[in-house]
Amino acid sequence: MNRSVKTAIQIGGIIGVIFVCAAIMYFGLADSLGKTYITGTKTKIIDWTSHYKNMLIIVMLISMFTSLLWYVLSRFVFKITSCFGVGKRAIWLVICVVNVIGVLLATALCSNDTTLKVGFSLYIIHVILFSVVGYYLTSVLFTPAAYKYTPVGANLIKLKK
Amino acid sequence: MKKIVGIAILLVMTLVAAGCFFDKEESLGELPYLPYAAMPDTEQNKSVGVDVYWDATCSMQGYTTIQQQNTYQRLPDNLEDIGISMGEIHFFRFGEEIQPLEGREHRQFMTPEYYTELITPIHKVVEQADGKHLSVVVSDLFESDADWSNVAKQIKSKYFENHQSVAVIGVKNPFKGDIFDVGYSAGGKFFYDSGTDAAKYRPFYMLVMGPTDDVRSFVAKCKERIGTGANVKYLLFSEELVEKVPDLNTIDYSNSENIFMDSKLQVPDKRMVEFGVNDKSATVKLETAINYKPFADVCQIDTNSLQPVIKVSKLENGEWVEETDVSAIRTSLEEKTDSDNTFVYNMEFQPNEVLNADSVTLLQTFIVPGRDGLHLPAWVQEWNMDNQASFDAGQFDGSKTINLVSLMSSLKDSSTTIKYPSIANIFMVIKN
């Protein structure tokens, strides 16, 4: 398999994993969560779900952007100039923090809509799906070989294969 | 490892995609209308047919003879004006027979000579009145108990049973003339002259019957033209005891548990709100804060007597079938002491005790005044004269109306026993 195909598969994998997380959220969890959140309000579940879809798209795009940013940096930008690879993990961590803040901020700002009443549990679920799985796991699985141990804990997961 | 991850991703994507094609639930079509509640009037600015039935008996002559401060003399023109503003108007004179009037003949009610009839069969007027029109009867309501019980029975079946309303507008007017059927001497007639002393003016009444919105509109227009005050009184008998009856679209139920608003069903009436149940094994709690604005012209509501009346119906073969046993539903109603005209109503039930599987259930709650929970306003007693006075000219007071309390009580009781006059309606429909 040549590098271009491998690159395409990795990018496709990152997008696919995050997209599946969004799909799980929308088709699997949104309905039951929404029903809990709208209890006592005059919002119908169908309206809540419709507004939630917009929030979900934004959160998904933030996760995709940060994950692809790390991939692009590690695949095309970073150069190995020393055996230590100093500073790459710090960059990974910064992007991780940006991802988490972005996901939380997007959730908070979108839920200012009176139709979209949400609970604390939604913030937790978004972080798990779009930061832990969407950013961390995709960076562990799809980071190019030169930096495959840069994500924190990646060496433990890789070595277990 | 990567192959396993790849396969897992494909599997999940396949499942997710398959989930998009789950069979949709079969549509039930539009639900039938609410039982126990009037259908909403959706026609805006509709033209109303107003029929005025004028008592042409000799006892009414006296209202036309004194010119000063005479509301009665201006009534034909005022009523014509109101009728035209609402749609169209027709006048009738009644006595032995009910005769339609043409053109501007109704203006002859301003002249004493036009009053030639001898009996006042209001029951015939009510019987003939068109239920789809607004009917106005102008009379002094000089009726015996026996005559009025017949009238009340007809009003009950024609109007209250069809969720319509009746208003009584009482106007004290200068009077000089004979009042017939009083006492046993002098041919049973009594001469009364109020002069221009407002305290002695004699009341006449307009009995306004028809669809609630039309009755309220007529009353509002009357207030603009005839006014309000010590000598003009309004009393409305209706299912709607408040300005706008609160329902689940306006009532606060933010402290409720285990229910959410849904939209799977086609509801024919926006007062009917669809809910779903989150957890069918947990208790459903609906806690509502009801704030109502009492309508100025209805009987005074005794708030201590307010109680919830619950009706549960199941949808069977396209119709609502009432469930007689509602013991599984627990309710409470308490007045909030820190807020005027505000009540907290709670309803709780276990879904498996009230909702059948694969069924649609309608829960209607009416917050109603209990037995004797409505009181006639003070002016009814002030304008009342006991029946005994009609047989004794020495006791007869021309500024009062014989049996007025009895007449109004009869209307009040009829309006409360037939349907559910309420200060709030809570209509929930749940598809299980």
**What is the rounded distance in angstroms from the CA atom of residue B6 to the CA atom of residue A139?**
15
pLDDT of residue B100: 95
Mean of the per-residue pLDDT values for chain B?
87
Same domain, B63 and B206: yes
Domain presence at residue B214: yes
**What is the rounded distance in angstroms from the CA atom of residue A76 to the CA atom of residue A68?**
11
Same domain, B332 and B191: no
Q: Is B263 on the interface with A (CB under 8 A)?
A: yes
Residue given tokens 């706008």 in the structure block: B244
Domain extent at residue B309: 259-371+422-431
- Alpha-carbon Rg for chain B, nearest whole angstrom, is 28
How sure is the predictor about B432, in pLDDT bands with cuts at 50, 70 and 90?
confident
Domain presence at residue B149: yes
How sure is the predictor about B1, in pLDDT bands with cuts at 50, 70 and 90?
low
Domain definitions of chain A by residue range: 3-159
pLDDT reading at B125 higher than 60:
yes
Q: Check the CA dihedral B412-B413-B415-B421 and report its sign.
A: positive
Q: How many CA atoms lie within 13 A of B426 on its CB side?
A: 24
- CA geometry: angle at B83 spanning B78 and B85, to 5°? 95
Domain presence at residue B410: yes
How sure is the predictor about B387, in pLDDT bands with cuts at 50, 70 and 90?
confident
Domain count, chain B: 2
Same domain, B133 and B267: no
Same domain, B324 and B414: no
pLDDT reading at B431 higher than 70:
yes
Does B261 sit within 8 Å of A40, measured CB to CB? no
How sure is the predictor about B18, in pLDDT bands with cuts at 50, 70 and 90?
very low
Contact list, A43 vs chain B (CB under 8 Å): 261
Same domain, B135 and B277: no
**What is the rounded distance in angstroms from the CA atom of residue B248 to the CA atom of residue B424?**
9
Task: Determine the average pLDDT of the residues in B157-164.
Answer: 91
DSSP result, B24-65: PPPP--BPPPPTTSPPP---TT--EEEEEEEE-BGGGGGGGS
pLDDT reading at B5 higher than 70:
no
pLDDT of residue B279: 92
Same domain, B149 and B228: yes
Q: Specify the length of chain B in residues.
A: 432
pLDDT (tens digit, 9 = 90+) per residue, B199-214? 999 999 999 999 999 9
pLDDT reading at B333 higher than 90:
yes
Which pTM value belongs to this model? Answer: 0.78
pLDDT of residue B21: 41
Give the nearest partner residue to A44 out of B5, B262, B278, using CB atoms: B262
pLDDT reading at B7 higher than 70:
no
Q: Is B288 on the interface with A (CB under 8 A)?
A: no
pLDDT of residue B184: 54
Give the nearest partner residue to B9 out of A20, A27, A32, using CB atoms: A20
Does A40 sit within 8 Å of B257, measured CB to CB? yes
Q: Which tokens go with B393?
A: 């000219």
pLDDT reading at A112 higher than 60:
yes
Does B276 sit within 8 Å of A35, measured CB to CB? yes
**What is the rounded distance in angstroms from the CA atom of residue B137 to the CA atom of residue B208?**
7
A38 contact partners, CB below 8 Å, separation of at least 6: A44, A45, A48, A117, B260, B261
pLDDT of residue B386: 82
**What is the rounded distance in angstroms from the CA atom of residue A29 to the CA atom of residue A40?**
20
Domain presence at residue B356: yes
pLDDT reading at B24 higher than 50:
no
